[in-house]
Chain A
């Protein structure tokens, strides 16, 4: 188990380094060289060039950075909002719980991608902010529901009653009871959330309702390469490989959820 996690972490660090350093050192991803139309991979351009003569490697680095940054932002937002709402719901109860539960159930009733689509449709097409908001909105419910049920159990335990009798205060309850209990679950949920966000983004790009060309995005890159799959297979394989590796790494990073 630890070896799998080490391997996943190593591979993920390599991908993150590629996404962060790549855009700084590689060529401009939008620079067109129409005379190098569909150039095969070479030493100078390890992944060749696309139909506009743009560097596939440079575009891949930018697309990976976009996926990771946007994914992390979505997960962080969903996690913060969902956890805060879940704890508030379990702790305060009453009408706060009723309202939050009703809102969350409304979100559960709608498929996640539809939420992202609706938010994207409201904003001008292809906005990164709309995509961010949509994915975060679709994901917070998961954190809310898990945190709410788990916090309810923790807050109802004799340990919290004892802490109340000792007048230890809310900070103690959060630091010593809730957070240590929720943390392992939240890291698991967050690594799954990264996968969902990245895949949602590329799915929307793939069906051309997400981000718009000429932005380098993994899903868009897959669609754009379709016309040339026989002449330039590297164009399609590169983004698919990155998506696959990102997914496998985040899944491999999870701890086993067994409670000691």
Chain B
């Protein structure tokens, strides 16, 4: 494509066994005017992106058409867009770390996307090097994907997707697993793409990213668009109830009864005391001479970019990981299963092959939980009882994380360590999950150790903050501990 032309979608529908997944009327994507689709998981936004690309599962019935310039293409035919891939149409996939070939060096993967690529192509390699250099990855060309951080992998995937010169770029959930600094860099790249006359369609549940990109915003819910308009208007003065609900789910706007108050003047009795602990992986020091005291009922948030050692610190405090130097003491009140942990991926924290009911029964028996308490807790967090008949993989992430909260609460904990427990959930699900957790915690006076890269979430939940800063750099021996 030489002259900037727009891309039009004509009434796109996707159905699975008759159930509509996507039903979106005409949509025009113009050069230099980015379009962003927001909505919760399962609203059909990713399905729409893949319907446009022609990468949907063949089991889904697709209807509608798209026109690129003069050409009109039927979306039901999955193969008619393949000749556009790379040259005109590119997709930046979810979780790029998984999309890259783990057995291939980064440079070679990017070079494959150069038009007219042949094996051992000097020209393509040079183009790939240049593309990586522009993204600040000049040194990463010879690296394998598993050695890259999430943000770097995303930029490599961006280079691979755009090196073919595609002007239509579809970006699918780019914020998943990225810390704010990496997301900022990506947003800059996307802005550059549109400024250069590119067409951009972004799918995200991150409203901050949607604000950064600007342009037009479409709000999707249950397969259809409920509201659309300029970003400022939709995201600041929404007219539809659902959009308001979505905006209210941002941690910075939460108003809950458990919202953090000023910490009490008298320190509460210590549960976990870490004294001058030092931990490093190989040559990379994570933290040195760090001292920390978590008292009963306190709510701590540990934040910082990925790879800085937040999770390791939490594991050290729970004595799940050994330290190089220093001591971690647990008060007697914290013994015997009173320290609990919530995981980033709850599916991995339950026995994979047995029904959830069996796994929960063992917890009930071990901790002498009163009859009916499990059902009571499940009702309190809004889980149906028949959930227990299913296996972990058959339950959605948000529901399973709430069941993990129920499981932790049955042990009558004094401290719960939530390790990025909501970072894979969309905004609305995150709010529901955090609300369940915090309600239970404040009802029982249990302390919280929240590890997150989302500073808004940390502010909304915690009364004590610990910022671990940047990895690999020297930090003050006692990192800045500030009250909220």
CB 8 Å contact bits of B207-237 with A (1 = contact, 0 = none): 0000000000000000000000000000000
Residues of A within 8 A of B359 (CB): 176
- Greatest chain A CB density within 10 A among B351, B358, B362 is at B351
Of B318, B348, B354, B367, the residue contacting A157 (CB under 8 A) is B348
- Determine if A165 is an interface residue (Cβ-Cβ < 8 Å): yes
Q: List which A120-169 residues lie within 8 A (CB) of chain B.
A: 157-159, 161-163, 165-169
- Determine if B350 is an interface residue (Cβ-Cβ < 8 Å): yes
| Chain B, residue nearest A176 (CB) | B351
| Chain A, residue nearest B363 (CB) | A166
CB 8 Å contact bits of B343-354 with A (1 = contact, 0 = none): 101001111111
A-B CB pair tally, cutoff 8 Å: 58
Report how far A163 CA is from B318 CA in the complex, Å: 14
Residues of B within 8 A of A157 (CB): 348
Of A165, A172, A181, A260, the residue contacting B341 (CB under 8 A) is A165
Contact: B343 with A162, CB < 8 Å?
A: yes
- Determine if A111 is an interface residue (Cβ-Cβ < 8 Å): no
Q: What distance in Å separates the Cβ of B420 from its nearest Cβ neighbour in chain A?
A: 12
- B residues contacting the other copy or chain, number (CB 8 A): 27
Residues of A within 8 A of B407 (CB): 162, 166
Contact: A176 with B349, CB < 8 Å?
A: no
Report how far A260 CA is from B352 CA in the complex, Å: 10
Contact: A159 with B354, CB < 8 Å?
A: no
- Determine if B366 is an interface residue (Cβ-Cβ < 8 Å): yes
- Determine if B59 is an interface residue (Cβ-Cβ < 8 Å): no
Report how far A157 CA is from B320 CA in the complex, Å: 13
Report how far A167 CA is from B367 CA in the complex, Å: 9
- Determine if B339 is an interface residue (Cβ-Cβ < 8 Å): yes
Report how far A214 CA is from B327 CA in the complex, Å: 73
Contact: A181 with B348, CB < 8 Å?
A: no
Contact: B362 with A176, CB < 8 Å?
A: yes
- Contact A181:B352 (CB < 8 A) given known A166-B340, A167-B337: yes
Report how far A169 CA is from B363 CA in the complex, Å: 10
Contact: B366 with A169, CB < 8 Å?
A: yes
Contact: A168 with B354, CB < 8 Å?
A: no
- Determine if B336 is an interface residue (Cβ-Cβ < 8 Å): yes
Contact: A159 with B353, CB < 8 Å?
A: no
Contact: A172 with B350, CB < 8 Å?
A: no
Report how far A157 CA is from B346 CA in the complex, Å: 12
Report how far A22 CA is from B353 CA in the complex, Å: 41
Residues of B within 8 A of A158 (CB): 343, 345, 348-349
- Contact A167:B366 (CB < 8 A) given known A159-B351, A177-B351: yes
Report how far A25 CA is from B362 CA in the complex, Å: 51
- Which 5 pairs between the two chains have the least Cβ-Cβ distance? A180-B353, A167-B337, A176-B351, A162-B349, A158-B348
Task: A159-B350, A180-B352 are known; give 12 further A-B pairs, CB within 8 A.
Answer: A158-B343, A158-B348, A161-B320, A161-B349, A162-B350, A162-B404, A163-B351, A166-B340, A166-B407, A167-B336, A167-B366, A168-B363
| 21 A-B residue pairings within 8 Å (CB atoms) | A158-B345, A159-B349, A159-B350, A159-B351, A161-B320, A161-B341, A162-B349, A162-B404, A163-B351, A165-B339, A165-B340, A166-B337, A166-B340, A166-B363, A167-B337, A172-B362, A176-B354, A177-B351, A180-B352, A180-B354, A181-B353
| Residues of chain B at the chain A interface (Cβ within 8 Å) | 318, 320, 336-337, 339-341, 343, 345, 348-354, 358-359, 362-363, 366-367, 393, 404, 407-408, 411
